[in-house]
């Protein structure tokens, strides 16, 4: 075979090899990459992350999320033996109704030296008894206001030591210590006070916090009407929401501390006479629970 023939054959071979290589590369580009196995790396960096997901809103209420969710100590694969509430109950069976045609106004987060006396004065002016869910450290700082609440015939409710929304995620022993410390601060101010209720901060109920409060003789207290006065939407909005949503038996959530409560105080000036024209108002019962 001549040298020119060999060179021609070599050139043909090189061209064929180049064409085959291009075809292989084109074919690979048309096949999607297979996910890696066993590396522990997410398939896509654009996939949603746990922290990007919105909080649970199973039970409406103040900030905190996870209202009425399962115990944080529960294993995801374990059977869920948590008691389920029916439609007449709040999260984990917490009270949302007075159990009668009467309605109950409840005030959270106090006592506060500026706002609580104004709320008490308005309630006294209209002859209304209410329920005050007090924070332990505030009760310790303002024992005179706790005494005024009790002396005026209002019901006292335990609202944890320092409004710890994550309280329900703690151990039963830690929950019990928190509630006992709060009760002790209330009774140091008013030794004869009956503390028949507990309200979980943020409405972030769990089975452990419900169980401990009930073991201590306190009924878990939720609510049916929340005008979100903790967001300071203004007196008109607060009053409008309460009047539109309140029904016989409603428990209404309001606040006498935790921020600027001027809107709540102003709303009460309109709400109290209007509610009295429609309903009977009561402090929640303080008998044996």
DSSP state letters, 224-282: SB---GGG---HHHHHHHHHHH--TTBEEEEESSSS--HHHHHHHHHHHHHHHHH--B-
Mean of all residue pLDDT scores within the chain? 78
Which of the following is catalytic: 112, 164, 255, 256?
A: 255
Catalytic, out of 58, 108, 114, 192 = 108
124 pLDDT more than 90: yes
Ramachandran sector of residue 224 (left: φ over 0; alpha: ψ -120 to 50; beta: rest): alpha
Predicted local distance difference test score (pLDDT) of residue 11: 52
| pLDDT band for position 28 (cuts 50, 70, 90) | very low
pLDDT in tens, 193-233: 999 999 999 999 999 999 999 999 999 999 999 999 999 99
The model's confidence at residue 285, banded by pLDDT at 50, 70 and 90, is confident
Q: What is the mean pLDDT of residues 117-133?
A: 98
Q: Is 255 a catalytic residue?
A: yes
Q: Residue 49 — very low, low, confident or very high, per pLDDT cuts 50/70/90?
A: very low
- Judged against a pLDDT cut of 70, whether residue 142 lies above it is answered with yes
**103 vs 74, more confident:** 103
Report the relative pairing of strands 195-198 and 219-220 from DSSP bridges: parallel
Q: What percent of the chain has pLDDT over 90?
A: 67
Which stretches of the chain are assigned E, i.e. beta strand? 104-108, 131-134, 155-158, 195-198, 219-220, 251-255
Residue 62, pLDDT above cutoff 70: no
- Ranges 68-77, 88-97, 125-134, 191-200: which has the least confidence: 68-77
Higher pLDDT, 138 or 38: 138
* pTM of the predicted protein model: 0.71
Q: Which residue has better confidence, 267 or 20?
A: 267
In this predicted structure, the answer to whether residue 103 has a pLDDT above a threshold of 80 is yes
- Delineate the domains of the chain, giving CATH numbers in brackets: 91-278 (3.20.20.370)
pLDDT at residue 16 in the model:
52
Greater model confidence, 32 or 191: 191
Question: Looking at residue 67, what is its pLDDT?
Answer: 26
């Amino acid at each position: 075979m001549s040298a020119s023939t060999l060179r021609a054959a070599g050139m043909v071979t090189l061209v064929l090899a180049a064409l085959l290589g291009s075809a292989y590369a084109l074919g690979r580009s048309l096949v999607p990459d297979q996910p890696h196995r066993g590396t522990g790396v997410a398939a896509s960096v654009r996939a949603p992350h746990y922290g990007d997901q919105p909080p649970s809103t199973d039970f409406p209420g103040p900030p905190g999320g996870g209202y009425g969710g399962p115990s944080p100590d529960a294993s995801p694969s374990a059977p869920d033996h948590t008691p389920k509430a029916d439609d007449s109950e709040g999260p984990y069976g917490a009270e949302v109704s007075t159990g009668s045609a009467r309605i109950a106004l409840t005030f959270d987060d106090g006592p506060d030296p500026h706002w609580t006396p104004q709320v008490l004065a308005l309630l006294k002016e209209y002859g209304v008894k209410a329920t005050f869910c007090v924070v332990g450290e505030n009760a310790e700082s303002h024992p005179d206001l706790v005494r005024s609440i009790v002396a005026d015939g209002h019901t006292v409710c335990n609202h944890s030591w320092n409004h710890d929304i994550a309280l329900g995620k703690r151990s039963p022993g830690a929950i019990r210590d928190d509630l006992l410390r709060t009760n002790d601060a209330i009774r140091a101010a008013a030794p004869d006070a009956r503390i028949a209720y507990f309200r979980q901060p943020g409405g972030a109920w769990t089975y452990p916090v419900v169980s401990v409060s009930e073991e201590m003789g306190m009924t878990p207290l939720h609510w049916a009407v929340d005008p979100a006065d903790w967001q300071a939407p203004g007196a008109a909005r607060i009053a409008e929401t309460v009047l539109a949503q309140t029904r016989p038996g409603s428990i209404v959530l309001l606040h006498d501390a935790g921020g600027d409560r001027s809107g709540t105080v102003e709303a009460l000036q309109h709400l109290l006479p209007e509610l009295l024209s429609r309903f009977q108002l009561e402090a929640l019962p303080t008998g044996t629970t």
